Structure 1
Amino acid sequence: MYLAFVDEADHTASNSFTVCGMTAIPVENAHNFCSYINGLRISSSVFEKSDLLKFSTSSKPSKCTAETHLQIKRDVIEGAGKFGAIFIGYCHFNEKHAANDADRNRLYGFNTLLGKFDEFLKTKKSHGIVQIDRLDFARQTKKQYKDGFSYLREKSQLGNKYPNEFRPLNNILSYSMTCEGTSDLTSANDIITGSLRYIINGQNDEVRKTLQEQIKNIMWKSDYGRFQEYGLTMRPFKTNKLKDEVKAEYQILRDFLNS
């Protein structure tokens, strides 16, 4: 059995990538991973019990230096690998145009992650429980989903919606919502998803490369070591309809991730 946590980053940004991430850990390792993260907080001597541990530098406690915060994040990602966690990421290029819908983009991302997780569980002959970070929808999205619970109910009862059908997610047993500060496991997913966000949207190539080296070790791969369409889904799949300048940016990212 696996516990999975899902979140998004930069889903409101235009002319950049919407990034979503899922971190899943075997149930039998969850307690030890939480204890490990809590130990990092305590040993740093700068995190109070109510302080959040997230990827964003602006979220760190005032007493925490940038260097300490960076090291803790590195240790969390390394610990995720030690305790058998796997990461599945999604990114979607948001062209700057009137039809760009931030909610739609992240829900496509969540649907993709859930579908990939279901496939992963099938390969493991296992099942999973999913918690998605708080789902707050814009007015337009509420025409389809009254609230976040409506979305979760659809996943449980019907599965993922395709043009002509719903496809059930048979290996996922339960869905619920969570929020920051409710678990060390949500902190871990925030850090790993935030790392993917910086790899994709960040400016410092040295930092991007360092983060890439860290998270590739926990990203779900095929039996042949391929992460594309396994641990990382990039959309749109076909770039022939994108503007030339958008194609160029998309290809730069693809080359970077594959390097």
Structure 2
Amino acid sequence: MYLLYCDETNMEERSGDFLLYAGISIPPDTAQRLSEDIERARKRLKVAPDFHLKFNPGPPNLSHSEFIALKEEIIGKAEEHGVRLFAYVVLHDIAKNKGADEARRNGINTVLYHFDCYLNRKKNQGIVMLDRFNDKGNKIDGHTREKFSIGLLGLPYSKEKRLGNILGVHYSTIGQSQFCSLVDIVVGSLRFAINAHCRNQADHHATAGALLELLSPLFFREEQGWAASDKVSELGFSFSPKSIRNASYRGRYESLKTFLAQHGVETMQEITDRAHY
């Protein structure tokens, strides 16, 4: 049984920024060892058992450099134990018409669908854990029930698509699992790198590049058959929407795609103004 822990970031509607939703898949045969490795790293550095380890802020007893080293170690352990990363981004300038909550629901739909596709390849099943949040009208409870009981709705090629490999969609929150810390660190690292580029924060560019190179092995790439590639599959990194007619917005997507490729995350999805599925 694979586990998928999900988280979102960059929910503030800021022009030029990308809302990011992502999930990390943890293999059943390495989940215990990965959890134990993270716990050992915490104990070695005397991180309090009840401290909620996240991308930021760090434990009060650690220096800035010690905290960075801890996060790098944890991401390295994720790579060692076969964790895979599935990410979705959408430009706030495009998402603002329907709002960040709707964009997050679309992100959940995309990441869960891609996880289901991944499980097809693994010939296995999975459980999804969504980071707990509240949206306007508390629509998220119905949304998660829908993902389990029905699946995806209103697709261009089908009215409904059952996510048959996903056996449950649940909530989680920081402190309930070592994996909650892991997904927060991974998603926070990706957010930092993307924002450094999109906001042209020159003093953060070196760190952003180093983070992407550290994260690169986690992104899902096709491994077998005709589709095997060194490029990150669209399952691993998805740009939304699939077609971008506004040339200015499309330029932002192209710029991000180039930046990612420069640091080891060469994405397969084409940035285009043409409708395609």
Q: TM-score, normalised by structure 2?
A: 0.85
Alignment pair present for 1:28 and 2:29: yes
Query: Once the 2 structures are TM-superposed, how far is the Cα of residue 112 of structure 1 from its aligned partner?
Result: 0.4
Query: Once the 2 structures are TM-superposed, how far is the Cα of residue 228 of structure 1 from its aligned partner?
Result: 4.1
Matches within 5 A, 1:82-231: 82-95=80-93, 99-139=97-137, 142=138, 145=139, 148-163=140-155, 165-202=159-196, 203=201, 204-222=204-222, 223-231=228-236
For residues 197 and 9 of structure 1, the distance between their equivalents in structure 2, rounded to whole angstroms, comes to 7
Q: Which amino acid aligns with 2:99?
A: D
Q: Which amino acid aligns with 1:230?
A: L
Are the structure 2 counterparts of residues 91 and 97 from structure 1 closer, same or farther at C-alpha, using a change threshold of 3 Å? closer
Q: Which amino acid aligns with 1:156?
A: F
Q: Is the 8 A contact 1:221 1:227 kept in 2?
A: yes
Per-residue CA deviations over 1:124-178 (Å, capped at 9, x if unaligned) read 1111011000031113xx4xx2xx3322110111001225612110111111101
Q: Is the 8 A contact 1:52 1:60 kept in 2?
A: no
Query: Once the 2 structures are TM-superposed, how far is the Cα of residue 184 of structure 1 from its aligned partner?
Result: 0.3
Per-residue CA deviations over 1:205-251 (Å, capped at 9, x if unaligned) read 11111111111101101221221412100112222x2252x333222
Q: Is the 8 A contact 1:14 1:96 kept in 2?
A: no
Identity of aligned residues (%): 27
What SS is found at the alignment partner of 1:95?
helix
For residues 31 and 176 of structure 1, the distance between their equivalents in structure 2, rounded to whole angstroms, comes to 20
For residues 152 and 32 of structure 2, the distance between their equivalents in structure 1, rounded to whole angstroms, comes to 31
Q: Is the 8 A contact 1:11 1:105 kept in 2?
A: no
Deviates more, 1:25-34 or 1:221-230: 221-230
Query: Once the 2 structures are TM-superposed, how far is the Cα of residue 96 of structure 1 from its aligned partner?
Result: 7.3
Structure 1: runs of 5+ lacking an equivalent: none
Are the structure 2 counterparts of residues 126 and 97 from structure 1 closer, same or farther at C-alpha, using a change threshold of 3 Å? closer
Match of 1:252 among 236, 252, 255: 255
For residues 211 and 179 of structure 1, the distance between their equivalents in structure 2, rounded to whole angstroms, comes to 24
Q: What's the RMSD between the two structures over aligned residues?
A: 1.6
Higher relative contact order (CA 8 A, sep 6+): 1
What SS is found at the alignment partner of 2:53?
coil
What SS is found at the alignment partner of 2:13?
coil
Structure 2: runs of 5+ lacking an equivalent: 223-227, 263-277
Alignment: residue pair count: 248
Q: TM-score, normalised by structure 1?
A: 0.90
What SS is found at the alignment partner of 2:43?
helix
Q: Which amino acid aligns with 1:118?
A: D
Q: Is the 8 A contact 2:95 2:103 kept in 1?
A: no
For residues 60 and 116 of structure 2, the distance between their equivalents in structure 1, rounded to whole angstroms, comes to 40
For residues 228 and 28 of structure 1, the distance between their equivalents in structure 2, rounded to whole angstroms, comes to 24
Are the structure 2 counterparts of residues 160 and 98 from structure 1 closer, same or farther at C-alpha, using a change threshold of 3 Å? closer
